[in-house]
């Protein structure tokens, strides 16, 4: 049983402070469409037994990454969890590199040394995908501290799931960031299940992040995480606050994952009608497409994005598949700054 | 050269590096205004100000996470974990995050940071504030491990640790904070991974670390005077990187190896050294390798019991004098 989310509780619609022109709207749609195609392809490759290890998909959660991706500055920092393909992709990490990493190919973003749960591209500000729940929350605070000390007006954005709100680092990081007024934005993607258990069954408050904000002197922010425009506006406000010295923001974005926790999980603990409701009526990608059309967007522009996305993901898949496994020698590199693994003379 | 205490050498090294590099920052519990619970960081706040020397909440995961995030983005943070026992509450940050960041990111991430911590027994603080955990640290690929035995080495090795591009766990033996020795003035750096031959000898190689070094030296004097045994005392100073060359050369000369370890027995650092010597120097041994350690037991608080557990001068003399 999932947390009941009502539209009246979640913020919807445009606040108007950060107007979206057509270019920005198309960017939001494009980012979501590409994330969707990438994740769907990762799923399909897994089913073909081409993905090594596990993978955690963010299908259904694209609007949050897209909203932030469209709002962030190039030199901002992203920290995310193992369910992080969307967040990395919207910062500019290549589809080929992500799919290649999932398939354990040499062309993979980390040449197979990280895997699906650890996609990182520091050249894009994608500062890593972390697979220990909550571990990255203080690390994001540290990157924000660094930006504050260096006076760069960069912000760090840290994405995490609803389950993270019950682990110690969540509380340590928020208190620390609030006391030091750090330019960090914490984004709880409440997809309503911590792994296989409904978050409401194991959490003392109905809204796992928003209801805790007061403990750190922060406003409670609960938004519709399946509305890309709401996410964009929420991101813009939080980033502006961070850059202007206003300190951290904690956002709870309500969403839903279309598949199970990982590819090992069919997600059967969720009621069929709940899954159907979110997939059929509250899917952020087609909903945004329909919204844009209803507002008068020229369909050919959206169709062009759709066609291009399909082509991109096919090309990335072929590129990744054509790469072989990494060479043996890289197993023994990059433990230390000297490039090697030696611990003795 | 000035006579400095072990604790003064800590502050001297940090100050030396903070003057040299504006990207060196320092954070921890009670480190700024109070100057540290062991008074090892007195004067740093006054010299470098509150932007570079910062007090934190009691949040060890936040302290180390913040240090890591800062290190990944161009700074050189020094973090203090007040007692090394508290690594148990933030070990994830050390082991899963800091140690693995470079490797898992295929070399993209840098983590040039130092975590200082008061380690070891002798202060009668009981089992949760007295452990020697250098062997925990040694077991994790990706972190360097330093444990100085005197004030001069504190200054030189801490400076080197701050300059090092890799993450370093720097263990200060808390019963030694008041001990003094001559410490070079001005900029002073000792490269990591170089053992110190604290005393030359010909009959037996005694490898000792941190607070066990002065005990080994006292024992060596007694062994020479009362038993006619000539001990070579080697202080590795760093467990990672480990100067095995100096140890193997010494054992090749003396034919005997004794390790003196404050960590509990199982998987103590001496076991690794014994294994290396056994594999690479076996035919030069004249006697079985012997390890002197704290037993595999939590430390008691009261002095008479704690002193029974941690290796003593008498135990070293007794064990070495009875070797074949």
B65 touches chain A (CB under 8 A): yes
| pLDDT value for A2 | 42
Of the given ranges (A54-58, A72-76, A150-154, A333-337), which has the lowest mean pLDDT?
A54-58
Whether the per-residue pLDDT at A7 is higher than 70: the answer is no
- Is residue A16 classed as helix, strand or coil in its secondary structure? coil
Q: Which residues on A lie below 8 Å from B193 (Cβ)?
A: 345
Whether the per-residue pLDDT at A145 is higher than 60: the answer is yes
| pLDDT value for A14 | 47
DSSP code of residue A330:
G
B56 touches chain A (CB under 8 A): yes
Q: Which residues on A lie below 8 Å from B141 (Cβ)?
A: 335, 341, 343
Q: Do B193 and A345 touch (CB under 8 A)?
A: yes
| pLDDT value for A264 | 81
Q: What CA–CA distances, in Å, run from B20 to A50, A73, A158?
A: 51, 32, 33
A189 to chain B, closest Cα gap in Å? 21
Give the CATH architecture of domain A22-320: 3-Layer(aba) Sandwich (3.40)
Please count the structural domains in chain B: 2
Whether the per-residue pLDDT at A3 is higher than 50: the answer is no
Quick: pLDDT tens for A173-220.
999 999 999 999 999 999 999 999 999 999 999 999 999 999 999 999
B112 touches chain A (CB under 8 A): yes
* B93 occurs within a structural domain: yes
Q: State whether B206 and B124 are in the same domain.
A: no
* CB-closest option in B51, B63, B109 to A149: B51
Search chain B and give the residue with CA nearest A149: B51
What value does the mean pLDDT take over residues A139-155?
A: 98
- Is residue B15 classed as helix, strand or coil in its secondary structure? helix
Candidates B75, B102, B105, partner chain A, best to mutate (most A CBs within 10 A): B105
Q: State whether B243 and B129 are in the same domain.
A: no
| pLDDT value for A16 | 73
DSSP code of residue A268:
T
In sequence order, the 6+-apart residues with CB closer than 8 A to the CB of A331 are none
Domain boundary among B132, B148, B183: B183
Q: Which residues on B lie below 8 Å from A334 (Cβ)?
A: 102-103, 106-107
Domain boundaries, position B38:
2-183
Q: State whether B164 and B242 are in the same domain.
A: no
Instruction: Give the tokens for residue A121.
Output: 């591209």
Whether the per-residue pLDDT at A11 is higher than 80: the answer is no
* CB-closest option in B57, B72, B74 to A127: B72
Quick: pLDDT tens for B99-140.
999 999 999 999 999 999 999 999 999 999 999 999 999 999
Place of tokens 């904000």: A213
Please answer whether residues A169 and A135 qualify as being in contact, where contact means their C-beta atoms are separated by less than 8 angstroms: yes
What value does the mean pLDDT take over residues A97-108?
A: 98
ipTM metric:
0.97
- Is residue B35 classed as helix, strand or coil in its secondary structure? coil
Instruction: Give the tokens for residue B113.
Output: 């940071």
pLDDT less than 50: residues of chain B: none
Q: Which residues pair with A223 in a beta bridge?
A: A11, A253
Q: What CATH number does residue B121 fall under?
A: 3.40.50.970
Q: State whether B146 and B205 are in the same domain.
A: no
- Is residue B170 classed as helix, strand or coil in its secondary structure? strand
Omega before B131 cis (within 30°)? no
Per domain, the residue ranges of chain A are 22-320
| pLDDT value for B1 | 87
Q: State whether B160 and B290 are in the same domain.
A: no
* CB-closest option in B61, B68, B110 to A169: B61
| pLDDT value for B324 | 85
Domain boundary among B127, B153, B183: B183
What percent of the residues of chain B are helix, what percent strand, and what percent coil, each to the nearest 5? 40, 20, 40
Label residue A263 by pLDDT band (50, 70, 90): confident
Label residue A9 by pLDDT band (50, 70, 90): very low
Q: State whether B237 and B120 are in the same domain.
A: no
Quick: pLDDT tens for A297-344.
999 999 999 999 999 999 999 999 999 999 999 999 999 999 999 999
* B310 occurs within a structural domain: yes
B75 touches chain A (CB under 8 A): yes
Q: Any idea which residues of B carry the catalytic annotation?
A: 129
Provide the Cα torsion B214, B215, B218, B223; round to 10°: -140
DSSP code of residue B38:
T
- Which stretches within B52-124 are classed as H helix? 60-72, 91-92, 101-104
Task: Give dist(CA A117, CA B274) in Å, integer.
Answer: 38
Please answer whether residues A183 and B85 qualify as being in contact, where contact means their C-beta atoms are separated by less than 8 angstroms: no
| pLDDT value for A8 | 37
Q: Do B65 and A344 touch (CB under 8 A)?
A: no
What count of other Cβ atoms lies within 10 Å of the Cβ of residue A118? 21
């Amino acid at each position: 049983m999932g947390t009941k989310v009502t539209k009246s509780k979640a913020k919807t619609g445009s606040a108007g402070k950060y107007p979206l022109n057509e270019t920005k709207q198309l960017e939001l749609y494009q980012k979501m469409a590409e994330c969707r195609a990438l994740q769907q392809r990762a799923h399909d490759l897994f089913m073909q037994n081409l993905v090594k290890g596990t993978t955690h998909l963010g299908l259904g959660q694209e609007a949050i990454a897209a909203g932030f991706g469209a709002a962030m500055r190039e030199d901002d920092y992203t920290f995310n969890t193992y369910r992080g393909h969307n967040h990395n992709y919207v910062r500019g990490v290549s589809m080929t590199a992500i799919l290649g990493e999932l398939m354990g190919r040499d062309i993979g973003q980390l040449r197979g040394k990280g895997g699906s749960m650890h996609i990182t591209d520091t050249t894009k500000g994608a500062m890593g995908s972390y697979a220990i729940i909550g571990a990255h929350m203080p690390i994001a605070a540290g990157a924000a501290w660094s930006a504050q000390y260096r006076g760069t007006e960069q912000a760090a954005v840290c994405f995490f799931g609803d389950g993270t709100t019950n682990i110690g680092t969540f509380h340590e990081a928020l208190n620390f960031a609030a006391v030091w007024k750090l330019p960090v934005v914490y984004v709880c993607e409440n997809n309503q299940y911590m792994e296989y258990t409904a978050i409401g069954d194991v959490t003392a408050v109905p809204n796992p992040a928003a209801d805790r904000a007061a403990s750190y002197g922060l406003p409670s922010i609960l938004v519709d995480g399946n509305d890309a425009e709401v996410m964009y506006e929420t991101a813009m406000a939080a980033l502006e606050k961070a850059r202007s010295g206003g300190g951290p923001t904690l956002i709870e974005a309500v969403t839903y994952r279309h598949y199970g926790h990982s590819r090992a999980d069919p997600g059967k603990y969720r009621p069929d009608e709940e899954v159907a409701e979110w997939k059929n009526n509250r899917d952020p990608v087609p909903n945004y497409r329909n919204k844009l059309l209803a507002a008068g967007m020229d369909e050919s522009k959206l169709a062009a994005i759709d066609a291009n996305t399909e082509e991109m993901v096919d090309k990335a898949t072929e590129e990744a598949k054509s790469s072989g496994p990494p060479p043996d020698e890289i197993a023994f590199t990059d433990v230390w700054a000297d490039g090697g693994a030696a611990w003795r003379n | 050269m000035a006579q400095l205490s072990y604790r003064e050498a800590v502050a001297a090294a940090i100050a030396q590096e903070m003057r040299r590099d504006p990207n060196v920052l320092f954070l921890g519990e009670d480190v700024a205004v109070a100057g540290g619970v062991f008074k090892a960081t007195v004067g740093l706040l006054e010299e470098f100000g509150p932007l570079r020397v910062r007090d934190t909440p009691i949040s060890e995961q936040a302290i180390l996470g913040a240090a890591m995030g800062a290190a990944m983005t161009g700074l050189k943070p020094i973090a203090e974990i007040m007692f090394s026992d508290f690594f148990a509450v933030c070990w994830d940050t050390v082991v899963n995050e800091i140690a693995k960041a470079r490797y898992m990111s295929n070399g993209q991430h840098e983590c040039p940071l130092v975590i200082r911590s008061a380690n070891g027994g002798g202060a009668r603080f009981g089992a949760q504030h007295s452990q020697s955990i250098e062997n925990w640290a040694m077991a994790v690929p990706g972190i360097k491990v330093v444990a100085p035995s005197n004030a001069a080495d504190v200054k030189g090795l801490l400076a080197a640790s701050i300059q090092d591009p890799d993450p370093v766990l720097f263990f200060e033996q808390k019963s030694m904070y008041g001990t003094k020795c001559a410490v070079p003035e001005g900029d002073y750096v000792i490269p990591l991974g170089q053992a110190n031959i604290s005393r030359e000898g010909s009959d037996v190689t005694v490898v000792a670390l941190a607070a066990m070094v002065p005990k080994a030296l006292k024992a060596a004097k007694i062994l020479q005077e009362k038993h006619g045994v000539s001990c070579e005392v080697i202080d590795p100073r760093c467990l990672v990187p480990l100067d095995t060359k100096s140890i193997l050369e010494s054992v090749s000369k003396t034919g005997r190896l004794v390790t003196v370890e404050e960590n509990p027995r199982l998987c103590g650092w001496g076991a690794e050294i014994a294994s290396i010597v056994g594999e690479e120097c076996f035919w030069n041994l004249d006697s079985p390798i012997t390890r002197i350690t704290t037993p595999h037991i939590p430390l008691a608080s009261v002095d008479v019991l704690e002193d029974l557990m941690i290796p003593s001068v008498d135990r070293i003399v007794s064990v070495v004098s009875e070797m074949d």
